[in-house]
Amino acid sequence: MNISTHWLRHAALTLVLTALAGCATMQPAANVQSSSTAEVNQQHLKSIASINHFGIQGRIGVQTDNRGFSGSTRWSHAPDSDSMAIFSPLGSQVATIDASSDDGVILVADGKTYKADDTETLTQQTLGWRLPMQGLPDWVLGRPSANNLDSTSEWDASGRLTKLSQDGWNIEYSDYVAASGFQLPRKITLRSIDGYNALASQKASPKIVLKLVVERWDVIAEPLPIK
């Protein structure tokens, strides 16, 4: 073997060993990144945990198996009550929904007043589609609902939710906006999981796609209790 051939083989072996060493050192870096992203998510969730009161104005769109609706909405939320008004594209009021923990849910539409224990049942019976008000106050803020701890989620590099599956709904967040010092969702799409209805003993229910575009946020944050 001449010196040139021996040198080439030695150089090739050195390159292979260097590449393998590089692969070995890259794996821990990926784990660090994953851990860091999870920490950023927890920091973001902590930053919005103090939001208990809010108001939104925006647009709403609903699509079911056999009907569709689009219009605008105004919604005011407090820990023990919700008040939502839904308007047609021309601005006429289609329905108002008032819910409290004491009096159940009252819905007014077409000059008639309806009452039930939960919003999903009432909106399904009167409007033809379910409004998941039990989880929606948390989901619209970009956080999992505290009413149901069983969920799966994905988030972006800033710790903001991009996807959430909880309580029979798949929720996607496609845009965020700065409001009152918080990063809050601007575009949200909710898709009901086929055949799932938590309030009807798991009986099949029509598939629903609900889209919400928030045009204005009004946020009131309260100090978290010291533990």
SS3 123: helix
Confidence of residue 17 (pLDDT cuts 50, 70, 90): very low
179: nearest Cα among 151, 143, 219: 219
Residue 205: what pLDDT? 61
Residue 7: what pLDDT? 42
Domain at 49-221, CATH from 3.40.710.10, 3.40.50.720, 1.10.10.10, 2.50.20.10 = 2.50.20.10
Determine whether 55 is exposed, middle or buried from the number of CB atoms within 10 Å of its CB (0-12, 13-18, 19+). Answer: middle
> Which single residue is written with the structure tokens 């204005």?
216
Where in the chain are the domains?
A: 49-221
Residue 168: what pLDDT? 92
The least confident of 93-102, 153-162, 184-193 is 93-102
SS3 149: coil
pLDDT digits (tens, 9 = 90+) for 166-219: 999 999 999 999 999 999 999 999 999 865 555 444 445 678 999 999 999 999
Q: Which pair of tokens denotes residue 42?
A: 């927890």
SS3 7: helix
Let me know: does 209 contact 194? Beta carbons within 8 Å: no
pLDDT digits (tens, 9 = 90+) for 41-84: 999 999 999 999 999 999 999 999 888 999 999 999 999 999 99
